A and B are shown apart, each in its own frame.
Chain A
Amino acid sequence: MADIQKRLSELAAAVDNPKERLEYYLGQGKKVVGCFPAYTPEELVHASGMIPMGLWGAQTEWKEVKRYLPAFACPIMQSNLELGLRGAYKGLSAVIIPTLCDTFRCVSQDWRFAVEDIPMIPVTHPQNNANEGSTDFLVSEYESVLNKLSVITGMRMTDAALEETIEIYNEHSRLMQEFAQTANDHLDVITPAIRHIVMKSAQFYEKAEHSEIMKDIIEELKNMPKHNFTGKKVILSGITAEPTEILDILAEYKIAVVGDDLVQESHQYRVLIPEKGGSAVRRLALQWKNRKGCSLVHEDFKSRGEMLVELAKANEAAGAVYCQMKFCDPEEYDYPICARTLRAAGIQVLQLDIDQQKGSFEQARTRIQTFAEML
């Protein structure tokens, strides 16, 4: 128990202070590249000998960013650009910004002009990933990213390096999947907030390093007697479920998180890079082709609702909390479909506004308490 707490504290410290992780890697003489959400090809950064570090916003006051974005823009993008403008990301060799929604597209251009000391590398995913030419297109996008990364490193990433990185990333994803399952037997230790910290923390570590920590945590959990959780179980869906105060309110009302469909969390780990399919870069592009059930991926017939029902049933969840990122159009569009499918399957749904900023949580508390009373 002492060891697992030590490991969990390490991860919590990384999540609380990512800057320290940045300084740590810079101190080792490594270059670090910031990766905006979501589905950023961080494997290309890793295989180029650099450290990819996730940039998923923060609880920070927006001042400078108001010159570039209206108040009704994505909170993650507001925070990322604000921190960039304030110089908080000093030390990063570049940032990679995918263009998965309208705000991302604006921010990529805002960054180019507003944060001149940190180069911006755009990457465009073919959102209709079922389209025949989508993989070829993404390979060309990844090649373009590699060209820009090579300017930073002064050398071209090799196929062999990417093969090795893919092994590391796939192993890490398997471990994160295993953690998610193992955690459900220990809901006394893995509270909603701790589960979130573990899932998020990987963004601030070199993946092989994070895998070693995860192996310890999983082993420790497996050595502990299973906990008989008597509260209510839910799954989370959305972009993120932050800040942790929201998750603490879930715990306060004896609600455990037994699965997630969060882009910031399980989406990162649920689709492995295929073993076959051509060159390493092409295999990486094929991972995108296998993604579905996400508001950022086009599907003619949305499968997310059915996937959520499956996730809830597999983990005996009575409810689903749809963490609605504020001002996020893609997520707003998906909500009615998901809610209808979940309710038809007898699973209660709570739509909870997420704006990532600290402040009063009384409205969230009322919603969560009501939901707990409904379950």
Chain B
Amino acid sequence: MYTLGIDIGSTSSDAVVMRDGRDIIAASVVSLGAGTIGPQLAYEKVLKEAKITAEDIGGAVATGYGRKTCDYAAKDLSELTCHAKGIHFLIPTARTVIDIGGQDAKVLQIGAQGQLMNFAMNDKCAAGTGRFLEVMAKVLNVKIEDMGSLSMKAKEPVSISNTCTVFAESEVISQLSSKKDIADIAAGIHRSVAKRVAGMAMRVGKQPDVAMSGGVALNAGIVKALEEELNTSILVHPYCQLAGAIGAAMAAWEDIREEGKG
């Protein structure tokens, strides 16, 4: 039976179709989030890729910032629960999961069965989030997807504040005025995010293996900075961006099984 999981974030919409809660049949990522046509596009795209129609879907669960707005989902789950489930599916040995989303950063502690044991989330502040990276990329006039490779060329990363996006933006402008190397600034930005998120990880309790989920995990610069900050290697699955949607699709399958339909 097919189940669908959709993760409607603040900056992107990711959808996954799974068969029997085991096999990923199709996935789609659209760089438009809640309140846009992104979720609908991701939904249509994933059905097309799976070569199925809406009628073939046995159950759907929505997650993410826009989870309440998905009318075809039987229920919604928090993105933390879904990322825990999704990462456990992708990397069963992971016990600590770092998810840097567009609006918030989270650190999850998960049990051997993929159950969520504890978590920490940033407060109402953009520092340490995907939005922070976006703002900084704009200041540097660099595409967000190029930030990772750029920062890997750094020789002397600069120091950037990790407490406030607005102040950090001023700092970056000041570093640019001082003719600092753009790669060093990019690495400094990543360190700034890493310091903030590492603080949360230490609060929750860093247990191996440590994995990253969400789209920001594709930024090698952030992963490297976090590895240095946490003094541990971080596992990143190629499907890390889809972890929330995978968790949601798995939750839909679990519900079907509980109802005895699966």
- Point out residues on A near B: beta carbons under 8 Å: 343, 349, 353, 360, 362-363, 366-367, 369-370, 373-374
B78 engages A370 (CB within 8 Å): yes
B123 engages A353 (CB within 8 Å): yes
Residues of A within 8 A of B79 (CB): 366
**Residue B65 lies at the interface, judged by CB distance under 8 Å to chain A:** yes
Smallest beta-carbon distance B72→chain A, Å: 20
Smallest beta-carbon distance B220→chain A, Å: 28
Q: Which of A349, A360, A370 contacts B116 (CB 8 A)?
A: A370
A373 engages B116 (CB within 8 Å): yes
- Point out residues on B near A: beta carbons under 8 Å: 65, 77-81, 104, 115-119, 121, 123-124
B81 engages A373 (CB within 8 Å): yes
Given A353-B123, A370-B80, A373-B81, A362 contacting B65 (CB threshold 8 A): yes
Given A362-B65, A363-B104, A370 contacting B119 (CB threshold 8 A): yes
Considering the complex, give the chain B residue whose CB is closest to the CB of A324: B123
Q: Which of B115, B116, B119, B121 contacts A363 (CB 8 A)?
A: B121
Considering the complex, give the chain B residue whose CB is closest to the CB of A355: B124
A374 engages B116 (CB within 8 Å): yes
A64 to B11, CA, bound (A): 37
Smallest beta-carbon distance A321→chain B, Å: 14
Considering the complex, give the chain A residue whose CB is closest to the CB of B116: A374
A349 to B109, CA, bound (A): 13
A286 to B144, CA, bound (A): 63
Smallest beta-carbon distance B201→chain A, Å: 15
Given contacts A367-B121, A370-B119, A373-B116, 20 further A-B contacts (CB under 8 A): A349-B118, A353-B123, A353-B124, A360-B124, A362-B65, A363-B104, A363-B121, A363-B124, A366-B78, A366-B80, A366-B104, A366-B121, A369-B78, A370-B78, A373-B78, A373-B81, A374-B81, A374-B115, A374-B116, A374-B117
Q: List 7 A-B contacts (CB under 8 A).
A: A360-B124, A363-B123, A366-B79, A370-B81, A374-B81, A374-B116, A374-B117
A253 to B115, CA, bound (A): 19
A366 to B121, CA, bound (A): 10
A362 to B77, CA, bound (A): 13
Smallest beta-carbon distance B187→chain A, Å: 29
Smallest beta-carbon distance A330→chain B, Å: 19
A115 to B222, CA, bound (A): 51
Most buried by B among A353, A360, A374: A374
Residues of A within 8 A of B65 (CB): 362
Top 10 A-B pairs ranked by shortest CB distance?
A370-B78, A369-B78, A370-B80, A373-B81, A374-B116, A366-B78, A370-B81, A353-B123, A373-B78, A363-B124
A339 to B105, CA, bound (A): 21
Residues of B within 8 A of A369 (CB): 77-78
Most buried by B among A353, A366, A367: A366
Considering the complex, give the chain B residue whose CB is closest to the CB of A350: B119
Residues of A within 8 A of B115 (CB): 374
A374 to B108, CA, bound (A): 12
Residues of B within 8 A of A349 (CB): 118
Smallest beta-carbon distance A37→chain B, Å: 23
Smallest beta-carbon distance B162→chain A, Å: 17
Smallest beta-carbon distance A168→chain B, Å: 42
Considering the complex, give the chain A residue whose CB is closest to the CB of B124: A363
A183 to B121, CA, bound (A): 33
Considering the complex, give the chain B residue whose CB is closest to the CB of A253: B78
Residues of B within 8 A of A362 (CB): 65
A360 to B65, CA, bound (A): 13
Q: Which of A360, A363, A373 contacts B77 (CB 8 A)?
A: A373
Residues of B within 8 A of A343 (CB): 118
Residues of B within 8 A of A370 (CB): 78, 80-81, 116, 119
Most buried by A among B78, B115, B124: B78
Residues of B within 8 A of A363 (CB): 104, 121, 123-124
A343 to B119, CA, bound (A): 13
Smallest beta-carbon distance B80→chain A, Å: 4
Considering the complex, give the chain A residue whose CB is closest to the CB of B121: A367
A367 to B78, CA, bound (A): 8
Residues of A within 8 A of B121 (CB): 363, 366-367
Residues of B within 8 A of A374 (CB): 81, 115-117
Considering the complex, give the chain A residue whose CB is closest to the CB of B203: A336
Considering the complex, give the chain B residue whose CB is closest to the CB of A339: B118
A360 to B10, CA, bound (A): 15
Smallest beta-carbon distance B143→chain A, Å: 28
Most buried by B among A363, A369, A370, A373: A370
A369 to B80, CA, bound (A): 9
A348 to B193, CA, bound (A): 28
